[in-house]
Amino acid sequence: MDLNCLKTKWLQEERIAHIHGWDFSHIEGRFEEGQNIPWNYEAIVRRYLSPESRLLDIDTGGGEFLLSLNHPPENTSATEGYPPNVSLCQALLPPLGIDFREADRSDCLPFDSGSFDLVINRHGRFDARELYRILKPGGCFVTQQVGAENDRELVDLLLPGTKLAFPEQYLEKAVRSFTEAGFEILQSREAFPKIRFYDVGALVWFARIIEWEFPGFSVESCFSQLCRAQNLLDKEGVIEASTHRFLLAAAKPVE
């Protein structure tokens, strides 16, 4: 193993670690994630969606999933708060007839009370009481979330001793907050599917992109840990860890 050659490659991955929307195509074929989630988020969303539904996608990213639903644009709204994605959404969604609004808070959304039949959110922030406010009676909220223990083996490998980025992100806590806000729980599920890396450079790129899970990570400061990761890869053929996902669907009761 030529450490100088590897370090050069890893530094190159670090330099180019930028993302457009939520696009991981740069490391496609070099890692796998989400292969064994025991539910289909899209199918569950579609179960609660009809063409006449007023739909809101919170923290839409670059609008990729929202657009895949092909919902009538006149019945579609979206929010996003991350500045690069805001610019992307402003250029893409309003010309299609979709109501897009910049929003970087989950507890104060820029919509009237009782506006939506269905609100969806994948891997974004939410506030149960604010969702209750903007939903119509009988309306539903569906979310797939990244849990508190996501990628912990990878974090421990590269940055041992790092605290949980989002220690409140557990299914039971989310269920409790929605129940207390007045919702009826329709579905709640949790899973720990595997994530796999087939080269350390892909892991470097990933750790730089997911900076909230890997705070302060760099090739220089974590070089010895990256060498351990390379040794593990050489021995096992893969670097494998667990992700953490949960699904929650809840309904605002009909008054």
pLDDT in tens, 42-79: 999 999 999 999 999 999 999 999 999 999 999 999 99
Question: pLDDT tens for residues 169-206?
Answer: 999 999 999 999 999 999 999 999 999 999 999 999 99
**What is the total count of domains within the chain?**
1
- How far is it, in rounded angstroms, from Cα 137 to Cα 213? 37
- How far is it, in rounded angstroms, from Cα 162 to Cα 155? 7
* CATH number of the domain bearing residue 64: 3.40.50.150
Question: pLDDT tens for residues 77-109?
Answer: 999 998 888 999 999 999 999 999 999 888 999
pLDDT value for 1: 61
Q: Is the dihedral of CA 206, 209, 215, 218 positive or negative?
A: positive
Tell whether the model's pLDDT for residue 4 goes beyond 90: no
Residues contacting 219, CB < 8 A, separation 6+: 7, 10, 11, 14, 204, 226
With H, G, I as helix, E, B as strand and everything else as coil, classify residue 155. Answer: helix
Element housing 156 (H / E): helix 152-158
For residues 233 and 22, the model is more confident at: 233
- How far is it, in rounded angstroms, from Cα 223 to Cα 175? 41
pLDDT value for 84: 84
CA distance from start to end of the chain: 67
Distances (CA, A) of 138 to 125, 174, 240: 22, 20, 42
pLDDT band at 130 (very low <50, low <70, confident <90, very high): very high
Note down the domain range covering 210: 3-252
Is 36 in contact with 246 (CB distance < 8 Å)?
no
Question: pLDDT tens for residues 12-25?
Answer: 999 998 876 667 88
With H, G, I as helix, E, B as strand and everything else as coil, classify residue 113. Answer: coil
Q: Are strands 116-122 and 135-146 parallel, antiparallel or unpaired?
A: parallel
pLDDT value for 24: 82
Mean pLDDT in residue range 149-162:
96
DSSP 48: T
Percent of the chain at pLDDT above 70? 98
User: pTM value?
Assistant: 0.88
Percent of the chain at pLDDT above 90? 89
State the chain's mean pLDDT as an integer. 95
Residues contacting 232, CB < 8 A, separation 6+: 157, 239
